[in-house]
Homo-oligomer: A and B are copies of this chain.
């Protein structure tokens, strides 16, 4: 028995510990940097030991999804549908900011298995329940769920985000070429970021923008609900 062996084996390996280590690894480093071998190394365990608790990597990713979806606050009780949905969505957003890899993993899983994980299904179910309790017809709830989940351009608002992780683009255009080739992007970026540290993205309050978009959708839904 070599020194340190006791410390390493103090906490026995479990599915929960494996998932926590995997989520932590994905949080800093992205899901691309996640490997069974690295998870095992982080836990001080041989790679094959993981396979006692998770069937394979896909099943591990499913477990990670359920773990982070479980972090979303439960719906507020005794409030109107609009603040209830609003609070739920903003809580989901906070979770996604902690685990930016989650949307991609959820979507990939959806495309592969064409069904969400139980936790995601539970989240959707409770969201539908809020709309129903708020007096929405089934038809309008259906529309609402599509609206809440739609991503109109297929890529998200992080497009303009100045993510601190990535290193600056090595072949970025000089500002004057940028302005000549993309005049509207440049004009908008200049207007948004008076403190012109970076041409694109700096000085944009993403939380405010997110809530602005959310409220636009909620107000639109409220109008439809009243008309129906």
Binding site for B on A (CB under 8 A): 30, 32, 89, 92-93, 96, 100, 102-104, 106-108, 110-116, 120-122, 124-126, 128-129, 132, 138-139, 141-143, 145-163, 165-166, 168-169, 172, 181-185, 187-188, 191-192, 200, 204, 209-210, 212-214, 216-217, 219-221, 224
Q: Which of B104, B124, B224 contacts A159 (CB 8 A)?
A: B124
**Considering only CB atoms, which chain B residue lies closest to A95 in the complex?**
B154
Closest 7 CB pairs of A and B: A151-B151, A114-B166, A128-B184, A146-B209, A103-B154, A125-B182, A138-B191
Contacts of A154 in B (CB 8 A): 92-93, 96, 102-103, 106, 156
Question: This chain: how many copies in the complex?
Answer: 2
Binding site secondary structure of chain A: helix
Q: Which of B93, B145, B147, B151 contacts A216 (CB 8 A)?
A: B147
**Considering only CB atoms, which chain B residue lies closest to A90 in the complex?**
B152
Contacts of A187 in B (CB 8 A): 128, 132, 138
Could you pull out 23 A-B pairs where Cβ atoms are within 8 angstroms?
A: A92-B154, A93-B154, A107-B156, A110-B155, A110-B163, A114-B165, A114-B168, A115-B166, A115-B172, A120-B159, A125-B181, A125-B184, A128-B184, A129-B184, A146-B210, A146-B212, A146-B213, A148-B152, A150-B209, A151-B156, A216-B224, A217-B217, A220-B220
- A126 with B184: CB separation less than 8 A: yes
Q: Which of B110, B147, B155 contacts A158 (CB 8 A)?
A: B110
Q: Which of A121, A143, A155, A183 has the most CB of B within 10 A?
A: A155
Contacts of A191 in B (CB 8 A): 138-139, 142
